[in-house]
Structure 1
């Protein structure tokens, strides 16, 4: 068994909210908008597609072919703006399983990612991406299984809705909970 099969690692490719702000002032925590990569055994899980996704994509070019599971918390601009610049998605032979909840307006994650790449917003449509993109609508509160990985979901307190994720594997766990407004008088049970 290789050492990667026994590892659970988290890499922060982007942590900023709203506006990417790379520069000398943001070196310590980074200046890209949200993108987190978890390597769980032999699986690669990616959370959100902010500008950090572009940087992750550049790194993945030396590791192709790539298969990964991409989870979106919601589709506010800072969480999806890196997706059109994710070069591995344009490369045939790569495979991305893409997950997101259906929005309050009934739009799927596929529709929302597609819409941001339509003219006049972007010059290249989603359909040009050469990788195998497998879109999955997920239900909040219903766990997902990826091999021996269990991904739990919970609704977050955020305008327009957002989803938090908890990844469980072989006694290890990591939660990705972003863009949730805290209550002044109590802890959010969904986050707990």
Structure 2
């Protein structure tokens, strides 16, 4: 079974629409995984807008959305997700950090209430189901896609995912802050021997040490350390800082690949097949 991974949004914190952010992309977090006839959506940042158009154009009738967390940059694209306005579309939305805090449906409804947004969640035509679980639980999508989850280190909570099908595995690990000097056991257990790891690499080690401790994000150097220690097939640097222009991202890519040749900078529109 083939897994196809597509990056629709790779930026963190807020979208960037400047000439200096075009090469790597300015839309916020959204990744799709297509496996065994299932479409799995990882986060609902502004990149979800383009993914929605792709699903409509290809006649896709349903999808499963797995939320890492529900900070604004990861949910802001949802009101503009075209399939959610189509009555024949079915969407299952999962979150692992909100069971004791109102549930995921309440968060999506809140961002679409008056006067924040002119149309309410209840007016969306799609058949939507909202599911709250505890990070660490295992999930099954369809008949053949298995999803392992893990609790991440992020303000208000976050969940990492390992999607496995047909002997292949893709891990999505954002937003999370590492523990300097040691590996996060939750992350290591999640990603060990995975084919692909998409990892929160908002900062460099130097930037992190100079005032970013406690902000809930990690570094591209830590991504490499985890990838090497966990025997990951390929690491994708993700959740780029808005201050990182194309020139800076290109410099990071050169530095990272000089350290390890199994690392790639995620770019908007990039697709990989396993």
TM tier, smaller: over 0.9
Structure 2 residue aligned with 1:28, among 1, 23, 30? 23
Relative to the length of structure 1, the TM-score reads 0.93
Larger radius of gyration: 2
CA contact (8 A) 1:33 1:52 kept: yes
Runs of 4+ in 1 over 4 A off after TM superposition: none
Which residue in the other structure is 2:169 paired with? 173
Structure 2 residue aligned with 1:93, among 84, 88, 97? 88
Residue deviations 1:21-41, cap 9 Å, x none? 134322332110000000012
CA shift, 1:170, in A, is: 1.6
Which moved further from structure 2: 135-144 or 113-122? Answer: 135-144
Would you say 1:164 and 2:197 are equivalent positions? no
**Total equivalences in the alignment:** 187
CA contact (8 A) 2:162 2:172 kept: yes
Q: For residues 1-192 of structure 1, what are the structure 2 equivalents within 5 Å? A: 6-103=1-98, 106-146=101-141, 147-192=143-188
Residue deviations 1:142-189, cap 9 Å, x none? 101121111010010101110000001121000000110111121111
Q: What's the Cα RMSD here?
A: 1.3
- Cα distance between partner residues in 2 of 1:41 and 1:65: 13
Secondary structure at the counterpart of residue 187 of structure 2: coil
Secondary structure at the counterpart of residue 190 of structure 1: helix
**Which of the two has greater helix per residue?**
2
CA contact (8 A) 2:97 2:158 kept: no
Relative to the length of structure 2, the TM-score reads 0.66
- Cα distance between partner residues in 2 of 1:15 and 1:125: 27
Point out where structure 2 has 5 or more consecutive residues left out of the alignment: 189-274
- Cα distance between partner residues in 1 of 2:32 and 2:153: 23
Which moved further from structure 2: 86-95 or 63-72? Answer: 63-72
Secondary structure at the counterpart of residue 16 of structure 1: coil
Identify which of structures 1 and 2 has the higher relative contact order when contacts are C-alpha pairs closer than 8 Å and 6+ apart. Answer: 2
CA shift, 1:65, in A, is: 4.6
Compared CA separation, residues 61 and 33, structure 1 to 2 (3 A): same
Residue deviations 1:91-134, cap 9 Å, x none? 11001011112427622111100111001110000001101001
Point out where structure 1 has 5 or more consecutive residues left out of the alignment: 1-5
Residue deviations 1:40-91, cap 9 Å, x none? 1211000000000011112222123521000111110000000011111011
- Cα distance between partner residues in 1 of 2:144 and 2:101: 31
Which moved further from structure 2: 84-93 or 60-69? Answer: 60-69
Secondary structure at the counterpart of residue 120 of structure 1: coil
CA contact (8 A) 1:104 1:161 kept: no
- Cα distance between partner residues in 2 of 1:65 and 1:94: 8
Secondary structure at the counterpart of residue 99 of structure 1: strand
